[in-house]
Amino acid sequence: MTDRTEIFDTIAAQIAPFNKKGVTVTEATTFQGDLEWDSLTVMDFVAAIEDEFDILITMNMQAEIETVGQLADAVAKLKG
């Protein structure tokens, strides 16, 4: 399993507690459109991802991330 796959799987696991609608999570799943998260949920989820990977995802970065795949790419880049 590659690092990128592990990152995606970890993110998917972190999404689960916030996935109230039971949406099937894929690379193309969007946080706002598919998961329908409000800003408070986004805040809690981002904090969970940051703590999981020991990284910081600034609000500037968050504005550019729409899908789970884009988040996985961003995490991979931040982890170096």
Partner 1 sequence: MTDAGLVAEKLSANPVEIAPERDLMSKFDALIAERQALIDTGVTDPFAIVMQQVTSPTEAMIAGHDTILLGTYNYMGMTFDPDVIAAGHAALDRFGSGTNGSRMLNGTFRDHIEVEDALRDFYGMSGAIVFSTGYMANLGMISTLAGKGEYVILDADSHASIYDGCKQGNAEIVRFRHNDVADLDKRLGRLPKEAGKLVILEGVYSMLGDIAPLAEMVAVAKKHNAMVLCDEAHSMGFYGPNGRGVYEEQGCDVDFIVGTFSKSVGTVGGFCVSNHPKFEAIRLACRPYIFTASLPPSVVATATASIRKLMTADRKRAQLWDNARKLHGGLKALGFELGTERPDSAIIAIILDDQEQAVAMWQALLDGGLYVNMARPPATPAGTYLLRCSLCAEHTSAQLDRVLGMFDAAGRALGVIG
Q: Site residues (CB under 8 A) for partner 1?
A: 38-40, 43, 47, 50-51, 54-56, 58-60
The distance of closest approach from Cβ of residue 27 to partner 1 in the complex, given in angstroms and rounded to an integer, is: 26
CB of 1 or CB of 40, closer to partner 1: 40
CB of 12 or CB of 50, closer to partner 1: 50
CB of 2 or CB of 58, closer to partner 1: 58
Q: What is the DSSP letter of 58?
A: -
Q: Are 9 and 15 in contact (CB under 8 A)?
A: no
Greatest CA separation for the chain: 33
